[in-house]
């Protein structure tokens, strides 16, 4: 399964990342799930958190319509929600980068259809601890070019032993 951390506001990011990280580290130590089935793909600033999150659909040439849905979610006091996703599109993706693009496409379609909120939604990519910084820089530029109003200038790192541990600016 793949995860997305939903955070209520920019002011809550630091505390949400800290608390979600503690939860992730605990869960990983006790459940021992493999990295590829237990990865955080992004942090999504979303005022309404998990309200009205749909099962998202895409057209895939090989599969026709394929859904990605929320299997479970964990929340703290309306400040943040950690959602675990699954679906054939994610399982068929060969890399974290592909899975992040799938989730980002879903976030983008949901964000653009829910513009009634006065507060803009922002997506911060989360990379694995082993991802090379030059690859991260290139990926950030690509994502910001493709989703200029959605992808923020900060990215995070998910370390299996420490959780979501750092934020970096787009410049490095």
Q: How many CB atoms lie under 10 A from the CB of residue 34?
A: 8
For residue 71, the model assigns a pLDDT of 76
Domain ranges of the chain: 2-169
How many angstroms separate the Cα of 43 from the Cα of each of 62, 83, 147?
A: 29, 10, 15
Digit-coded pLDDT (tens) for 33-67: 656 567 899 999 988 776 666 555 554 555 555 67
Q: State whether the Cα torsion 35-41-45-159 is positive or negative.
A: positive
Q: What is the pLDDT of residue 118?
A: 54
Task: For residue range 87-142, list pLDDT tens digits in order.
Answer: 877 888 888 888 888 888 877 776 665 555 556 789 999 998 888 777 888 899 99
Task: Catalogue the E-assigned strands of 10-153.
Answer: 39-45, 56-60, 64-76, 80-87, 122-128
Looking at residue 59, what is its pLDDT?
47
């Amino acid at each position: 399964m793949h995860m997305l951390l939903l955070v209520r506001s920019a002011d809550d990011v630091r505390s949400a990342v800290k608390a979600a990280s503690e939860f992730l580290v605990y869960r990983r130590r006790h459940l021992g799930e493999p990295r590829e089935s237990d990865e955080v793909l992004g942090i999504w600033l979303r005022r309404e958190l998990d309200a009205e999150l749909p099962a998202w659909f895409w057209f895939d040439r090989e599969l026709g319509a394929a859904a990605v849905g929320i299997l479970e979610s964990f929340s703290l006091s309306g400040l943040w929600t950690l959602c675990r996703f699954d679906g054939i599109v994610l399982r068929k993706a060969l890399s974290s980068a592909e899975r992040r693009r799938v989730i980002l496409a879903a976030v983008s379609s949901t964000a653009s259809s829910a513009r009634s909120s006065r507060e803009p939604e922002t997506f911060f990519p989360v990379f694995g601890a082993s991802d090379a910084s030059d690859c991260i820089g290139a990926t950030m530029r690509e994502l910001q070019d493709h989703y200029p109003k959605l992808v923020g200038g900060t990215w995070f790192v998910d370390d299996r032993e420490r959780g979501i541990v750092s934020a970096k600016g787009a410049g490095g």
